[in-house]
Amino acid sequence: MEQLMQWKKAVFPDLLEKMAQRYNVLYTISLHEPVGRRAIVDRLRLPERLIRNELDTLQQLGFVTSSTKGMLMTAEGKDAIIQLHDYVRQLSGLTMLEQHLQEKLSLKKVIVVAGNSDEDMFVKQEIGRAAVHYLQTIIHKDVSIAVTGGTTMAAIAEAMVPFDTYRCLFLPARGGVGEKVENQANMIAAKMAEKEKGTYRLLHVPDPMSETLYQSFVNEPSVQETVQLIQKANIVIHGIGQALTMAKRRQTEDTVINMLEEKDALSEAFGYYFDKKGNVVHKVRTIGLQLEDLTDDKHVISVAGGCEKADAIVSYVQKKKTDVLITDEAAAKEILNINK
């Protein structure tokens, strides 16, 4: 298949590029319908005249229809997206990128979406949709899912849908980090449960906390009960942060930040800071999921995108605690260039 794709690109370069372009217009409409022409131009960053021509063609083909609110998909258009999805991914090189990244990072599975989430929020939304789609393929019974916070995790919550007849218990993997409420684990778990029509539990503890505060919370029966549920979660979905960025977000003392710099800390997850070889160089006091809780019986999904996250992703996956990585094209290409 890969060799055939290379021949097609060589013989019909313009045709294949046109097909991918038309697919992207159709796919954008499917994600945002009803959506106006101007919004499609902004999303795809293509000339308005080109988009207008593509929309006219898609309407003639019966794939989309126009309304006063914007463009809408038809049943034929939805079917076309399903049929073309894998082919277009191969055409764009994403399938090959996934394979190379999977080999380099020694992961069970890698999913790559097109674009750079550092530059386009739309790409972060795509990571969210890819994560939900992957969950749909692995959930075949009622399960419990522990989730961390962050903007990428919030994108997953936004994309969440019901999983057929199965219902999930969503749990915050940790307490609240000092950031926007909508990006905290508690809020993300609650939103996922609402959209999936499942249930959730909250963890009402700050993150991080002092030793004195930790001792006052850790023995609370309600906290203990929730932590036990978190530790037994079947699936864990978490983000990967850049070490110094996360330390500053937590308003970490300068002495600790200096120490992280001296030890070349690159990534952060679950309150642990890792160097480029995956060694733990620092840990903050938290209540919730700990690194040792990521046992083999759990399905661990790491999500992170953007060119700037490449070093952090490579750093964290060295710990061998991840089954699946969901990222974007920019991060994937940068990772493959590291130590090339």
More confident of the two residues 256 and 204:
256
2 has a pLDDT exceeding 70: no
Mean of the pLDDT values across residues 162-189? 83
pLDDT value at residue 298: 95
pLDDT value at residue 236: 98
Strands of the chain (E only): list them.
64-67, 70-73, 109-113, 143-147, 168-172, 199-200, 235-239, 241-242, 267-269, 272-274, 280-283, 299-303, 324-328
Mean of the pLDDT values across residues 67-96? 84
- C-beta neighbour count of 260 within 10 angstroms: 21
141 has a pLDDT exceeding 60: yes
- Asked if residues 90 and 305 have their Cβ atoms less than 8 Å apart, the reply is no
Mean of the pLDDT values across residues 142-154? 94
| 172 closest CA partner among 144, 211, 133 | 144
Convert the pLDDT of each residue in 57-74 to its tens digit: 999 999 999 888 888 989
- Which segment, 46-50, 161-165, 168-172, 250-254, is predicted with the most confidence on average? 168-172
Please tell me the distance from the alpha carbon of residue 187 to that of residue 171, in angstroms, as a whole number.
Answer: 10
Q: Enter the pTM of the model.
A: 0.83
9 has a pLDDT exceeding 70: no
Convert the pLDDT of each residue in 177-200 to its tens digit: 555 677 889 999 999 999 999 999
pLDDT value at residue 323: 96
201 has a pLDDT exceeding 80: yes
307 has a pLDDT exceeding 70: yes
| 333 closest CA partner among 87, 121, 130, 98 | 98
What share of the chain in percent tops pLDDT 70?
A: 92
Residue 278, SS3?
coil
250 has a pLDDT exceeding 90: no
Buried b (16+ CB within 10 A) or exposed e, 13-47: eeebeeebebbbbbbbbbebbebeeeebbebbeee
pLDDT value at residue 326: 98
pLDDT value at residue 68: 87
310 has a pLDDT exceeding 90: yes
Please tell me the distance from the alpha carbon of residue 37 to that of residue 69, in angstroms, as a whole number.
Answer: 11
Range scoring the smallest mean pLDDT among 10-24, 31-45, 164-178, 188-202: 10-24
| 233 closest CA partner among 317, 131, 139, 161 | 139
Q: Give 176's DSSP letter.
A: B
Q: Please enumerate in sequence order all residues whose Cβ is within 8 A of that of 175, keeping only pairs 6 or more positions apart, or say none.
A: 185, 186, 203, 204, 205, 206, 207, 209, 286, 287, 288
> Mean of the per-residue pLDDT values for the chain?
87
- In order of 13, 143, 176, 186, 287, the CA distances from 169 in angstroms are 48, 6, 19, 13, 19
